[in-house]
């Protein structure tokens, strides 16, 4: 009888922990938020890239992604501005093939991302580990005709091993770590993470 109660208690605790992790609530419960912090989402992105040994970020500068680029430059990650988004992804693909590290490209929302499709398909076919990060309209404005707002996820799901949209700042670090791991695991390939502008900028 005692072993049945113990087994039931362990099963219940395990189920609760699984649900907390699945619903991504464990970060909120276990970690305190520093309300006085002046750090923004772009700095968190750069921190993850730096910790994974990323040396280069290829881009075509755009307003939706500028917090990421500024933070990368601050952490001495070389930001290389190209003349077209497809060239940014081709360059990231080349870095991945030559170095064995994940190649990283960051482009702005809407047409910026649609311009990368050919290069992402090329990385998929070549099995190159590549992280594409794209800007997006603010979370509350999605689907309401905001500047350069399109359904970017449906565009990249068939081409990428992993796709994710960041909806809260606390999702940035675990999502990027997962994306980088998936890009390199098994058969390497491209991954895509979408960043609405409101999770990247500091809101006062």
Q: Are residues 73 and 171 in the same domain?
A: yes
Residue 148 and residue 111: Cα distance in Å, rounded? 7
Asked if pLDDT for residue 8 goes beyond 70, the answer is yes
Which has more confidence, 104 or 141?
104
pLDDT band at residue 148 using 50, 70 and 90 as cut-offs: low
Counting runs of H as helices and runs of E as strands, what totals does the chain give? 9, 6
Q: Are residues 26 and 44 in the same domain?
A: no
Which contiguous run of DSSP H or E holds residue 5?
helix 2-22
Asked if pLDDT for residue 106 goes beyond 80, the answer is yes
Asked if pLDDT for residue 192 goes beyond 80, the answer is yes
Whether 204 maps to a domain, the answer reads no
Q: Are residues 91 and 21 in the same domain?
A: no
* pLDDT of res. 110: 83
* Cα–chain center distance at 162: 10
- The number of folded domains in the chain is 2
Give tens-digit pLDDT for 73-86: 999 999 999 999 99
Determine if residue 106 is left, alpha or beta; phi over 0 gives left, psi from -120 to 50 gives alpha, anything else beta: beta
**CATH number of the domain within which 166 lies:** 3.40.50.970
Asked if pLDDT for residue 144 goes beyond 90, the answer is no
Whether 195 maps to a domain, the answer reads yes
Asked if pLDDT for residue 124 goes beyond 80, the answer is yes
Q: Are residues 27 and 46 in the same domain?
A: no
**Strand runs labelled E in the chain:** 56-59, 78-81, 103-107, 130-136, 162-165, 190-196
This prediction has a pTM of 0.80
Q: Are residues 162 and 195 in the same domain?
A: yes
Compute the average pLDDT of residues 147-155: 75
Instruction: Domain of residue 6: give its range.
Output: 1-32
Q: Are residues 100 and 28 in the same domain?
A: no
CB 163 within 8 A of CB 179: no
């Amino acid at each position: 009888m005692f072993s049945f109660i113990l087994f039931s208690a362990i099963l219940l605790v395990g189920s609760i922990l699984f649900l907390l992790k699945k619903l991504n609530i464990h970060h909120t419960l276990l970690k305190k938020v520093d309300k006085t912090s002046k750090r923004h989402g772009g700095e968190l992105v750069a921190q993850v890239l730096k910790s994974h040994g990323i040396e280069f970020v290829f881009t075509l500068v755009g307003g939706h992604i500028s917090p990421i680029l500024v933070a990368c430059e601050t952490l001495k990650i070389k930001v290389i501005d190209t003349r077209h988004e497809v060239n940014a992804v081709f360059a990231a693909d080349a870095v991945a093939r030559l170095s064995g590290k994940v190649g990283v490209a960051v482009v702005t929302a809407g047409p910026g991302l649609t311009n990368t499709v050919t290069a992402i398909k090329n990385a998929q076919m070549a099995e190159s580990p590549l992280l594409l990060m794209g800007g997006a309209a603010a979370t509350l404005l999605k689907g309401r005709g905001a500047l350069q707002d399109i359904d970017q996820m449906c565009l990249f799901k068939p081409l990428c091993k992993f796709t994710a949209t960041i909806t809260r700042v606390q999702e940035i670090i675990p999502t990027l770590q997962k994306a980088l791991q998936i890009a390199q695991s098994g058969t390497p390939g491209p991954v895509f993470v979408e960043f609405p502008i409101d999770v990247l900028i500091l809101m006062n």
